[in-house]
Amino acid sequence: MTRRFTIRIGSQTAVAELLDDVSPRTCGRLADALPLTSRVNHAKVAGEEFFCFVPFHEELESPVVAQQSGNIGYYPLRQTLCVFYADMPGAGQVTPVARVVDNLEGIIAEGRAAWLRQGGTIHFSGLTDERG
């Protein structure tokens, strides 16, 4: 069973799948926090990534550094959820929590727009279970 949720940022809505099999503790914490609305900011040093603060803390789990476009990771040192919209070597370890599976193009466009529009709003909601 795959759990999915929606991401709404700017004019775009995308769908992401939780990576429960990779990071079950952190995915559970994110799922429990939904629906979630937060301020979005663009990373200034790390690369093509935007992030938002989340209302939970979890220790690093199944850490990865290099990222692919569409990955969503949790960065425990800053208590943030990071959405990567380009392939990049990474700037630090994150817990992999989700992957964008629908409308990655929209996330890429909004990621680029977030560079200029710091402090916008991002919404995570609509957790569903789908048989795979």
Strand partners of residue 96: 73
- What residue spans define the domains of the chain? 2-130
For the cut 70, the answer to whether the pLDDT of residue 132 exceeds it is no
What pLDDT was estimated at residue 131? 62
3-class secondary-structure state, position 26:
helix
Regarding pTM above 0.85, the answer is yes
**If we measure between CA atoms, which residue out of 126, 47, 128 comes closest to residue 83?**
47
Q: What is d(CA 108, CA 77) in angstroms, rounded to the nearest whole number?
A: 25
Please write the tens of the pLDDT for every residue from 110-123. Answer: 988 888 877 789 99
Looking at domain 2-130, does it have CATH number 2.40.100.20?
A: yes
Please write the tens of the pLDDT for every residue from 69-89. Answer: 999 999 999 999 999 999 998
Instruction: For residue 114, give the amino acid letter.
Output: A
Q: Using an 8 Å Cβ cutoff, are 131 and 1 in contact?
A: yes
